[in-house]
Amino acid sequence: MRVFITGAGMVGCHTARELVQRGDQVTFFDLAPRQDYVQRVVDGDVRVVRGDIRELPGLLEAIQEVRPEVVIHTAALIGTAAQQVPYRGFQINIGGTLNVAEAVRLAGVRRLLHASTLGVNDLSQPQPAPLTEDFPTSGAGQVYGGSKVACEQILRAYAAAYKFELAILRFAGVYGYGHYAGGSGIGQGMYDLVKAALEGRPAPLGSGFPPVDENVYIKDLAHGVALAARAERLPHQVYNLGSGVLVTPQLIVETLQRILPGTTAVRVAPPRPDRFPRLQPFDLSRSRAELGYEPRYDLEAGLRDFIEELRR
């Protein structure tokens, strides 16, 4: 199977590794790819095309040349990186997604997978049980969340109009070995925490850590994306991909202390304020039943593997 991935970051590269190991042909489309990172993570033969998703002609030309069966759209600005300059954040996240949808249409691509986020959940609503894919959404007044809600609506309308297969994959907070150029607060925060503990320094707890969150290890997340790419059929258009478990910064530190005895932590910035805290994790029932997704790394297993990746 030929697969075209926008964004050669943590999600894109780990997903490519899964696909390459299954025998698929992967092409990346990235504005500033880091070749050493791509080679280190993918550990296989992939092609990298330099390009900007804000420029439809170049994106379309690349997709038409590859003739992929599946496009996986991961390129975006996240969190603070999107919020710093709202126009730029919307231009990349919404404008880029619109270009990807149009290129998929014009090139006749069969299936589009879009990287969305748990940040679209409207946590002001009651949370009596784990959050299903039908839980209400809201941008919560933020560029990143707002742009992702808009992207979901745009893509649903495009898929309905032009009849390509669509899967919106809502990710929990992803951590693991990455370069975090897109601005992932959780990704960068977990890296800083683990690296400091590994080096025997006080592990910093920054503002990237909310009081309660759902985190998923990148190898689990990438496995879920690969399953969606290779699924024979997609009965629904939205799938949750996470761990199904809530964690706190204290639990993360305590888990690190079991792995690396003597680890200490220091709060270097106040916790990210959450007006409406997350009370429930994702409901993964749909992803389990329709994609065959099952998290393989709990928090301790994920941190242990992450530490081994950094040691290597």
Structural domains of the chain ordered from first start: 2-176+218-242+280-295 (3.40.50.720)
CA distances for 232 relative to 3, 207, 279, 291, angstroms? 15, 41, 34, 9
Model pLDDT, residue 209: 85
DSSP 8-class letter at 282:
B
pTM reported for the whole predicted model = 0.96
Report CA Rg, the chain. 19
Share of the chain above pLDDT 70, in %: 100
Q: Is 55 within 8 Å of 100 (Cβ atoms)?
A: no
**pLDDT tens-place string over residues 92-122:** 999 999 999 999 999 999 999 999 999 999 9
Beta bridge partners of 25: 2
Q: Is 29 within 8 Å of 62 (Cβ atoms)?
A: yes
DSSP H or E stretch at residue 181 = none
Sole residue written with tokens 């761990």:
243
Cα–Cα distance between 83 and 185 in angstroms, integer?
12
Q: Is 295 exposed, middle or buried (0-12, 13-18, 19+ CB in 10 A)?
A: buried
How confident is the prediction for the chain on average, in pLDDT?
95
Q: Is the pLDDT of residue 19 over 80?
A: yes
Confidence tier at 17 by pLDDT (50, 70, 90): very high
Model pLDDT, residue 107: 98
Find which of 10-24, 73-87, 173-187 is predicted with most confidence, using mean pLDDT. 10-24
Q: Is the pLDDT of residue 254 over 80?
A: yes
Residues 6+ apart with CB under 8 A from 73: 6, 7, 97, 100, 112, 113, 114, 115
Q: Is the pLDDT of residue 237 over 90?
A: yes
Residues 6+ apart with CB under 8 A from 83: 89, 142, 143, 144
Query: Higher pLDDT residue, 269 or 247?
Result: 247
Across 187-192, average pLDDT = 93
Q: Is 277 within 8 Å of 233 (Cβ atoms)?
A: no
Q: Is the pLDDT of residue 163 over 90?
A: yes
Written as six digits, the tokens of 100 are 């990807």
Helix and strand numbers, DSSP H then E, in the chain: 12, 12
**Beta strands 246-247; 213-217: pairing state:** antiparallel
Max CA pair span of the chain:
58
